[in-house]
Amino acid sequence: MSEHAERLRVKKTYKLYLGGKFPRSESGRSYPVSSPDGAELANAALASRKDARDAVAAARKAQRPWAGQTAYLRGQILYRAAEMLEGRAGQFAEELADATGADAHDALGTVEAAIDRLVHYAGWTDKYASVLGGANPVAGPYFNHTTPEALGVVAAVAPHDDPLLGLVDAFAPAIAAGNTVVVLASEAKPLPALSLGEVLATSDLPGGVVNLLSGKTAEVAPHLASHADVNGLDLTGVADTALAADLEAAAAQTLKVVRRPGRGADALDLLRQWTEYKTVWHPAGMAAGAGGAY
């Protein structure tokens, strides 16, 4: 036993998850993260404006190919993420307990809920289009069909006090629907999110589909809100109402779809939030015999 006690534990360096890689902030900055009782846990990368820019670029690059995958494949990859998380449930329970001060049992319960949430969205990928879209009976000789399609790149501020399950809600519905995301993790409790990046990286999820940043909401979020190549903005994790209003106003410049704080996490509502309806018309007529509709 004494031999073990003497062994120096290898501590993890918590880095960003960006374009499928784990870089430090380009700014070289980090910030200390502690538990609610004040114990220092680790340093996390302090993302900069340029990290946000790089994350958006990575997300944009990944978006078309990701949306172009079959819904079946997207579902399998989300399910794979659930498998990976299940395998590391203990580690995540521990990190979550450290981050939130929850007891071990509750923390494990939250991890299990996160796993189940991923499984839930894995099952949505090949169904939401049937649920949200459909054929429309227009009054004319046309076939008319509406399908939900990915909005594009979604930037999300994940909830501060729900660092794992809230994070899953911030990316899973969006990517299930073919979007790619840039998520700003809980500012005070970013470590479970950054570890989740490792789960995603080993789930066959293409690089850039989910990008995770840690840092200061007030510093990074405005750059995401105003970025012209972002299509959707999730303000769920912005507790400061004045900041939320400013971010929404900044998003208005390019007419981004905005999810205001406090909207809850209903799955279909989230899927609908990050999709656009596309309606396609085509004439349906062939025979010359009848001589037209007049």
Partner 1 sequence: MGSILSGAEAASLVRALPGVDAVGLEARAAGLSTRSVKTTSKAQVIDLAISMIDLTTLEGADTPGKVRSLAAKAMRPDGDAPATAAVCVYPSMVAAAKDALQGSEVKVASVATGFPAGQVPLDVRLADTESAVRAGADEIDMVINRGAFLAGDLERVYQEIRAVKAAAGDARLKVILETGELATYDAVRRASWLAMYAGADFIKTSTGKVGVNATLPVTLLMMQAVRDYRAATGVQVGVKPAGGIRNTKDAVKYLVTVNEVLGDDWLSNEWFRFGASSLLNDLLMQRQKLKTGHYSGPDYVTVD
Partner 2 sequence: MFEYAPAPESVRPQIKEHYGLFIDGEFVDAESDFKSVNPATEEVLFTVAEADEADVAKAVAAARRAYETVWGPMSGTERGKYLFRIARLLQERAREFAVAESLDNGKPIKETRDFDVPTAAQHFFYHAGWADKLAYAGHGPDPRPLGVVGQVIPWNFPLLMLAWKIAPALACGNTVVLKPAETTPLTALMFAELCQEADLPPGVVNILPGAGAAGAAVVDSAVDKVAFTGSTAVGRAIAKAVAGSEKKVTLELGGKAANIVFDDAPIDQAVEGIVNGIFFNQGHVCCAGSRLLVQESVADDVLERLKERVATLRVGDPLDKNTDIGAINSAAQLERITALTEAGRGEGADVWQPACDLPEQGFWFRPTVFTGVQQSMRIAQEEIFGPVLSVLTFRTPDEAIAKANNTPYGLSAGVWTEKGSKILWAAERLRAGVVWANTFNRFDAASPFGGLKESGYGREGGRQGLEAYLDV
At position 114, the amino acid (one-letter code) is: A
- The single residue among 99, 122, 251, 271 that binds partner 2, judged by CB under 8 A, is 251
Beta strands in 100-197, from DSSP E residues, in sequence order: 134-135, 142-150, 153-157, 180-184
Minimum distance from residue 279 beta carbon to partner 1 (Å): 17
Could you tell which of partner 2, partner 1, none binds residue 285, using a CB distance below 5 to 8 A set by kind? partner 1
Minimum distance from residue 214 beta carbon to partner 1 (Å): 55
Of 76, 153, 62, give the one whose Cα is nearest residue 121: 76
- Is the Cβ–Cβ distance between 154 and 232 less than 8 Å? yes
Contact pattern for partner 2 over residues 263 through 292, marking x by CB under 8 A: ------x--x---xxxxxxxx---------
Could you tell which of partner 2, partner 1, none binds residue 294, using a CB distance below 5 to 8 A set by kind? partner 1
Minimum distance from residue 97 beta carbon to partner 2 (Å): 36
Q: Which residue has the tokens 């076939």?
A: 143
The verdict on 70 binding partner 2 (CB under 8 A) reads: no
- Is the Cβ–Cβ distance between 115 and 87 less than 8 Å? no
CA distance 44 to 25: 9
Cα atoms in the Cβ-side hemisphere of radius 13 Å centred on 120? 17
CA distance 248 to 36: 30
- The single residue among 34, 133, 142, 206 that binds partner 1, judged by CB under 8 A, is 142
Residues 264-283 that bind partner 1 (CB under 8 A): 283
Which residues contact residue 50 at a Cβ distance below 8 angstroms, ignoring those fewer than 6 apart?
Answer: 26, 27
Of 149, 170, 129, 173, give the one whose Cα is nearest residue 67: 149
Contact pattern for partner 1 over residues 97 through 136, marking x by CB under 8 A: ----------------------------------------
**Mapping DSSP to helix (H, G, I), strand (E, B) and coil, where does residue 181 land?**
strand
- The single residue among 136, 161, 204, 218 that binds partner 2, judged by CB under 8 A, is 136
Contact residues for partner 2 (CB under 8 A)? 131-132, 134, 136-140, 142, 144, 146, 151, 231, 241-242, 244-246, 248-249, 251-255, 257, 269, 272, 276-283
Contact residues for partner 1 (CB under 8 A)? 141-142, 283-294
